[in-house]
Amino acid sequence: MTAGKQTFWTTDRIMQLIIGITLTVLLVLLLRYLSNVLLPFFVACFIAYLLQPLVEWNQRIFKLKGRGIASLLTLLEAAVALGVVLAFTLPSMLREVGMLGKILHEVSTGKIAPPHYIVSFVHLINNYVDPEYICHHLNGQDLNTLLSKGPSIVEASVGLLMDVLGWLLTLIYILFILIDYPRIANGFKLIVPYKFRPRALVVLNDVRVSMNHYFRGQGCVALCAMVFYCIGFSIVGLPLAIPMGILVGVLYMIPYFQYVTLIPVAAISLIYSLGGGVDFLPLMGKCLLVYAVSQSICDYVITPHIMRHEMGLNPAIILLSLSVWGSLLGIIGMIIALPATSLIMSYYERYISNPLPVQNSTPNPPDQPTSA
């Protein structure tokens, strides 16, 4: 070996790599094992992240020094907005659900003769959706059989209660995260060991900038998409137009997942067409036109205007990251898929593919710790 040259893969580095991979695998397994418990917390973190600008806006408008009152105001404003949406949409949604249920009932009882190729489909939906069937099924059970299932009913009730309490904790999580958001964000920097902190903070800053740009920009685009789809579905006469438009807008936060709603839209169009008021193919064609027009406006007009530039991830990489992280960690993986993938790619590009010198600066010396 030539003097002056050092081997990159030393025993210490190999051991560090093995230990790092082992800890990563153990962390993934732990997160997967605790996913049901951690899901409300991760959802709360994501919602708090989206509401953070509104908290700062409330602080500026009402000239509040602390974040506690501003956080409460933010949650109150979000609750009022949600209540207004429900007040306007719930009555019409219940009427339209009743109308679709009536059509299914008439088809199943023979009052309406459906095409032969959808008879089994209609019966399947009717059996699992019709409340009369559920009531008849429960009333028809023998009392002794029902009593013999008492422990399982109690266990199921307790499980349901615990799930409800878990999701109620989400509201508490959101409040506390919003109140301590700056301290929590600053605390993540202190997790990184001091000697790795300059390099890590550069990568984390890149991810923070791209995530702020992506998630909040995508939230605005999703809100616009929600409005377009609600208006479009209402114009073409699709039942449950508002709920379906809201669902499309929510799923818009996950790239390409808005197209999953084509399945319920097709099912609603098919059931509505059985009533004889419309034909399935023309109604479904109009709905596809709504998708095409709304998607074109969002992709070619609104997204470039709001987000200015793309996040930097290829669509194939986005789909792959959603699949991989979703498979590893379930819904939690879907939430953190893009930040985690962006972090990995930023690190690879900055320090492996095209290494750049680390800029001096950032962390305070050990004798002057950053204030929490």
Using a 10 angstrom Cβ sphere, with 0-12 exposed, 13-18 middle and 19 or more buried, the burial of residue 318 is middle
**pLDDT tens for each residue of 308-338:** 555 556 667 777 887 887 777 776 677 677 7
**pLDDT score, position 325:** 79
357: phi then psi, degrees, rounded to nearest 5: -65, 140
Joined together, the tokens standing for residue 364 give: 């305070």
Between CA 206 and CA 350 the distance in angstroms is 10
Residue pair 122/275 in contact by the 8 Å Cβ criterion? no
If you search the block for the tokens 């309490």, which residue do you land on?
165
Mean pLDDT of 76-88: 88
Q: What is the pLDDT of residue 197?
A: 74
Rounded-to-10 torsion of CA 45, 50, 56, 57: -150
Mean pLDDT score of the chain: 75
Return the pLDDT at 227. Answer: 92
* CB neighbour list of residue 332: distance below 8 Å, 6 or more residues apart: 31, 35, 38, 39, 42
What's the whole-number mean pLDDT along residues 62-77? 88
135-189, pLDDT tens digit by residue? 554 444 444 554 455 555 555 555 666 666 666 778 888 888 888 888 877 776 7
Task: Judge whether 65 and 56 are in contact, CB under 8 Å.
Answer: no
Asked if pLDDT for residue 20 goes beyond 60, the answer is: yes
Higher pLDDT, 370 or 103: 103
Report the alpha-carbon distance of residue 173 to residue 371 in Å, rounded. 23
- Is the distance from CB of 225 to CB of 303 less than 8 angstroms? no
pLDDT beyond 60 at 131: no
Instruction: Report the distance separating Cα 358 and Cα 203, nearest Å.
Output: 10
Separation CA 279–CA 300 (nearest Å): 32
- pLDDT tens for each residue of 287-305: 999 999 999 998 888 877 7
- At 220 the pLDDT is 84
| Mean pLDDT, range 4-30, rounded to an integer | 77
Query: What is the per-residue pLDDT for 345?
Result: 76
Instruction: Give the CA count within 13 Å in the CB-facing half-sphere of 282.
Output: 7
| pLDDT exceeds cutoff 60 at 363 | no
What pLDDT score was predicted for residue 285?
93
The pLDDT score that the predictor gives to residue 368 is: 43
Q: What is the pLDDT of residues 250-272, one digit of tens each?
A: 888 777 788 889 999 998 988 88
- At position 205, the amino acid (one-letter code) is N
DSSP tag of 259: G
Q: Supply the DSSP symbol for 239.
A: T
Long-range contacts of 307-313 (CB under 8 A, 24+ apart): 307/213, 307/214, 307/217, 307/218, 307/221, 308/213, 311/210, 311/213, 311/214, 311/338, 311/342, 312/210, 312/342, 312/345, 313/338, 313/341, 313/342, 313/345
